[in-house]
Homo-oligomer: A and B are copies of this chain.
């Protein structure tokens, strides 16, 4: 039984000054000459769904900026089950704890095809005064994401939770979105795989979402919002 490991593909070294999403990321406030200080390699990685960025307990040496795709942060329960405690999307930072703790505290795993850039924590430490404001913003984002997951995705009926998740999977202006596996869906919403499957099927039947390709959905925002708030 060979271990079919899902791994990240190395894309190359990065020139942060030409980053397409500079205003979203940690280095947003840096000026031209600040980049001279970075003498450690910052790498660009591509990850397929299922590929882990890091595992809990692993020595925390890098932080990761999500450029594209979606990640889950999962932790384990006293009874051995796992629970997804947060989602990270474009502009979010995974592994921020590297700056204050010796090891990672979650498993961070891609849920959708993803691009990240991998920054050694020493680079962050060296630039830390210049990054102060952005670091605080990223921590703030992490807290907000987490509260969002509790508030929207762990409250109310299974139907409401799934509907709210569809609402969060892409900006409201975009009707199309990509979903992920039913098992992860369950671990994120605090329901079983079967209930997750049934509920998605139910929303499809009701027309709130339409599956136009495997796990690619067209959303009806009005219908979803109604379901998300129904008594």
Binding site for B on A (CB under 8 A): 73, 75, 77-81, 83, 85-86, 96-97, 99-101, 105-106, 128-129, 132-133, 135-137, 139-140, 142-144, 146-147, 149-152, 154-156, 160, 164, 190, 225, 228-231
Contacts and interface: CB of A to CB of B under 8 A. Distances in A.
B146 A139 contact: no
Contact of A78 (B78, B97, B164): B164
Nearest to A129: B129
Number of copies: 2
22 contacts: A73-B147, A78-B152, A78-B228, A78-B229, A79-B228, A79-B230, A81-B155, A83-B150, A85-B151, A86-B147, A86-B150, A100-B137, A100-B140, A105-B144, A106-B147, A129-B132, A139-B140, A139-B142, A142-B143, A143-B146, A150-B154, A154-B155
Contacts of A79: 156, 160, 228-231
What is the predominant secondary structure among interface residues of chain A facing chain B?
Answer: helix
A142 B147 CA distance: 10
A26 to B, nearest CB: 13
A144 to B, nearest CB: 7
Nearest to A147: B85
B77 A155 contact: yes
Given A78-B225, A79-B231, A155-B83, A150 B139 contact: no
